[in-house]
Amino acid sequence: MDRIKEQFLISPYLVFFLIHSMQVGVGILGFQRIIAKAAGYDSWISIILVGIAVHIVIWMIYKILDPSKGDIIHVHIEIFGKWIGGIFSILFIIYLIAMPVTVIRSYIEVVEVWMFPEFNRWVFGLFTLLLAYYVIMGGLRTVTGISFFSVVLPLYIFFVMIFPLEYAQPRNLLPILHHSLREIVQSTRDMSLSIIGFELILIYYPFIKDAKKSQKWAHFGVFATTVLYLIIALTAFMFYSEQQLEKQIWATLSMFKIVVMPFVERFEYIGITSWYLVILPNVCITLWAASRGIKRIFSVQQRKALIVIMALVLVMIGLFQTRMQIDLLNNYMSTFGFYFVFCYVPLLFIATVVIRKLRDRK
């Protein structure tokens, strides 16, 4: 694989923001109801378990990529050959293309329900994609800058979690471990859609300066995400009863409704509009990664690949009309992301270790 020029590389510590910004998106607005379906209020344990699992997968990813100094496409060709490896890479690219569709359409649904019922999803989708195009044309360094600001600027939103604590009932969390291990594992699986996104390091790894030094920052990013989800989940569990939580599609947003300030009446409106800055790097990073992957596989210009992908994403955004269809999209993404991250990556790790050892012996 050709070495990336120095001016296109990013510093190791910026991996923290790339990881964290990808894991925090639309899912954090309503993940509590999803994970509580299987394990009730014991599902806070599943957040810790999925965090530990992600740390292990991050370690595997670095072990896969470090020896080759390349991306997953290079590893696929190295391990499986040009044709089979190319098929696996194309499947990964399709997964990447589906990500911005899920993020944008889910955010549009939130805006439609909470703010503007007649919201024009085509115009919003086009505007978001054009903005993402402008960012991506600046290269990965510009995309990383957007990720940095998406983590730093909306931090004030999370301080409003103090307001629901006034009505919190810690007894809701008792008794602990009231559910079976199987139910907690199911809840951990349900958490996968909210936590995925870190695996895009499989694409942008060659763009990291001194990539080995970035591993600790990747772990810090995952740790920050886990703590954030844990705090918000515990707050929601203490604020709502289980019967109330079952009816709250966007539990985090619903808690914003009780925020009372002298200068603002409907804080959830501020939260929703501010969240656009949170989802923007989700769109930019995935579109950059998908276009980069197509460039690597088919040897085409990344700009041309990006335009085609954006057109495809815009069409797909309009295809999902109802709540049921959007739920189905999220479920498919969650399922594929779970099996890719927690099944395929470990298998790829084992394959790379075995095949590289056999080649070294020869």
What is the pLDDT tens value at each position of the chain, 362 positions in all?
A: 567 888 889 999 999 999 999 998 888 888 888 888 888 888 899 999 999 999 999 999 999 998 887 899 999 999 998 899 999 999 999 999 999 999 999 999 999 988 888 888 899 999 999 999 999 999 999 999 999 999 988 887 777 778 888 888 888 888 888 888 888 888 888 887 788 889 999 999 999 998 889 999 999 999 999 999 999 999 999 998 888 888 888 888 888 888 777 777 777 788 888 889 999 999 999 999 999 999 999 989 999 999 999 999 999 998 888 888 988 988 888 889 999 999 999 999 999 999 988 888 77
Residue 224 to residue 16: CA distance in whole angstroms: 9
User: Closest by alpha carbon to 292, among 207, 198, 211?
Assistant: 207
Q: Round to the nearest angstrom and report the end-to-end CA distance of the chain.
A: 23
Instruction: Output the six-digit token pair for 262.
Output: 């002298």
3-state secondary structure 42-77: HHHHHHHHHHHHHHHHHHHHHHHHCCCCCCHHHHHH
Residue 122 to residue 132: CA distance in whole angstroms: 15
pLDDT for res 273 = 87
User: Closest by alpha carbon to 274, among 130, 159, 157, 160?
Assistant: 157
Residue 197 to residue 24: CA distance in whole angstroms: 9
Residue 340 to residue 349: CA distance in whole angstroms: 12
Task: Tell me the whole-structure pTM to 2 decimals.
Answer: 0.93
Residues paired with 261 in a beta bridge: 264
Q: For the beta carbon of residue 277, count every other beta carbon within 10 angstroms.
A: 17
Residue 95 to residue 155: CA distance in whole angstroms: 29
Under 8 Å CB-to-CB from 90, ≥6 apart: which residues? Answer: 297
Q: Would you call 341 helix, strand, or coil by DSSP?
A: helix
User: Closest by alpha carbon to 61, among 342, 357, 359?
Assistant: 342
Q: Would you call 261 helix, strand, or coil by DSSP?
A: strand
Q: Which residue has the tokens 């979690």?
A: 161
Instruction: Output the six-digit token pair for 115.
Output: 């703010």
Please answer whether residues 146 and 284 qualify as being in contact, where contact means their C-beta atoms are separated by less than 8 angstroms: yes
Distances (CA, A) of 349 to 56, 72, 262: 11, 11, 55
DSSP 24: S
pLDDT for res 248 = 84
Please answer whether residues 248 and 33 qualify as being in contact, where contact means their C-beta atoms are separated by less than 8 angstroms: yes
Ordered structural domains, the chain, with CATH = 6-361 (1.20.1740.10)
Q: Residue 254's Cα: distance from chain center in Å? A: 22
